[in-house]
Amino acid sequence: MNENIDIGAELYDKIHADFLKQLGKARELRSMADVSGYSGRVGRALSRAIAANLSPDVLPDGQLYYNIARSILEPSLRENHELVNGAAEQVQRELDEREGIRIKPVRPEFPTERVNDVISAASAEGIPWEKTLRRVTSPAETITMSFADDFMKANAEKRSRAGFDTFIDRQGGGKCCPWCAKLIGHFKYPDNVPKDVYRRHDNCTCTVTYGTKGGARQDVWSKATWTVPPAKELHRGAVQGAEKVPHRLTGAANGGIIRQMANGMRKSPFIPLSDSEKAHLQKEIEAIGADIQHFAFVDNVGSHYLDEEDIVYISSNIFPSNDGSKHPRDLMSERAAIAHEYYGHRANRFTTLEPGAWNDEFRASYLAAKNCPGLTDEDRAYLVLDALERAKEAGVTIKYNDFIRGILYG
């Protein structure tokens, strides 16, 4: 067994040196499509290097034993995993920097189980050498390309959760097989994405990429629909006298009732923030004693707090709409809206409440009114009224406590 390990290490060194020659000089990557193409180039370089250096003549008894296959494939694929994900992260950070987005890219885990399955299949006894070699070279390319696919999937999911309108694109490479042809297209995440869109067969040259466009997803400041669960799923809230506060929202299919939020909106998030508006908002953040390091300006997506990044994203809808609406959510100042995100949501990071649920929003406005420094009496009143409206829209009755009465009636 030790002899096999030594042979495997020697073969790995030769294959790795050839791999680097096959890969050639680094090329500039500017898009996720470039990353997908790069994963194919890395995979082909490894596949060719293995084919050029692996033959029955260099193996004991002409057999690719398990330990030899592992010594070659596992470190090679781990290096490819690092190369592809490192490139994808760098491109994503550069794209985000241009848009003022501060979401840390997700790096998927190395698929150990899948690689082990390939090693076992390649080292099976009693199969022709041509089949053995194919079981090594083809997965070396396909799995490397799947590293990019896994990155696209993980980061598309994260950005969709963050409120960005996210799309998945799959394009065929060369002559497309009938199975792949059915998966080619431009799909809105997550509802319209085929379940197999990230999958690929051996020798598949399809590319899978993702992109984001802000704004299509409604946020907590706009009209929306909420689902209230049946009574057995409700519990009492932290505010004195609050009744029927749901722990998590559930779908209408589980007995919920759909209720639409009150009419009116903030300023449209599709209007880019100007430099003067950003300067003004920075002063508003400082005025309430918030840490500017936890804020980022964005366009085309609603203002929101993202727990995973500990960042409050601010767009134009942080400003009142000034459209004549009498709803407190539309009337409160930008300072009050920032307080809602920072002293309400950020103060309850990783809450067990469903983000965006009425009780999560009730708590954010209530705590902002109660705990945020630097607010006017009018700001506090609108925040309290917004909290009460959140409950009213969900069909929940709130008994006024001393704080609420003091804010509203003095």
DSSP percent split of the chain into helix, strand, coil, nearest 5: 50, 10, 40
Distance CA 230, CA 254 (A): 8
- pLDDT-derived band at 228 (thresholds 50, 70, 90) equals very low
| pLDDT reading at 324 higher than 80 | no
Which of 9-13, 26-30, 102-106, 391-395: highest mean pLDDT? 9-13
Return the C-alpha torsion angle 76, 79, 81, 84, nearest 10: -120
pLDDT of residue 219: 36
Instruction: Kindly state the percentage of the chain with pLDDT values over 70.
Output: 81
> What pLDDT, on the 0 to 100 scale, is given for residue 202?
63
List all residues 6 or more positions away from 150 whose beta carbon is below 8 Å from its beta carbon: 108, 111, 198
| Strands 295-297 vs 311-314: parallel, antiparallel or unpaired | parallel
| Nearest of 400, 344, 359, 361 to residue 236 by alpha carbon | 359
Give pLDDT, residue 241. 33
Would you state the pLDDT for residue 267? 85
Give the pLDDT confidence score for residue 239 in this predicted structure: 36
Q: In the numeric block, which tokens belong to residue 294?
A: 């936890």
SS3 80: helix
Distance CA 108, CA 85 (A): 8
With 50 as the cut, is the pLDDT of residue 234 above it?
A: no
What does DSSP assign to residue 232? G
pLDDT, tens digit (0-9, with 9 covering 90-100), for 290-312: 999 999 988 877 888 888 888 99
pLDDT at 264 over 90: no
pLDDT of residue 299: 82
Which structure tokens are listed for 219? 């946020």
Predicted pLDDT of residue 242: 34
If pLDDT is split at 50, 70 and 90, which confidence band does 164 have? confident
Per mean pLDDT, which range of 251-255, 336-340, 341-345 is the poorest?
Answer: 251-255
Give residue 15's region: left, alpha or beta (phi > 0; psi -120 to 50).
Answer: alpha
**What digits encode the pLDDT tens for the residues 147-161?**
998 998 888 888 877
Q: What does the pLDDT look like over 29-68, one tens digit per residue? A: 888 889 989 999 999 999 999 999 999 999 999 999 999 9
Q: What is the reported pLDDT for 238?
A: 32
Q: What is the pLDDT of residues 89-101, one digit of tens each?
A: 999 988 888 877 7
Tell me the C-alpha distance between 391 and 400, whole Å: 12
Asked if pLDDT for residue 231 goes beyond 80, the answer is: no
Beta strands in 308-391 (DSSP E): 311-314
Query: Per-residue pLDDT tens for 250-261?
Result: 222 222 222 222
Instruction: Output the CA–CA distances (angstroms, integers) from residue 36 to 28, 264, 297, in the order listed.
Output: 13, 43, 29
Q: CB of 73 within 8 A of CB of 115?
A: yes
Structure tokens at 190: 């997550």
pTM of the model: 0.60
Distance CA 51, CA 299 (A): 49
The end-to-end CA distance of the chain, in Å, is: 84
What is the average pLDDT score of the chain? 80
Tell me what pLDDT residue 174 has: 62
Residue 172 pLDDT > 60: yes
What pairs with residue 228 in β-bridges? 257
Chain CA centroid to CA 380, Å: 34
Using CA atoms, how far apart are residues 165 and 247, in angstroms rounded to an integer? 27
Element (H, E) at 353: none
When mean pLDDT is compared across 74-78, 87-91, 216-220, the lowest value belongs to 216-220
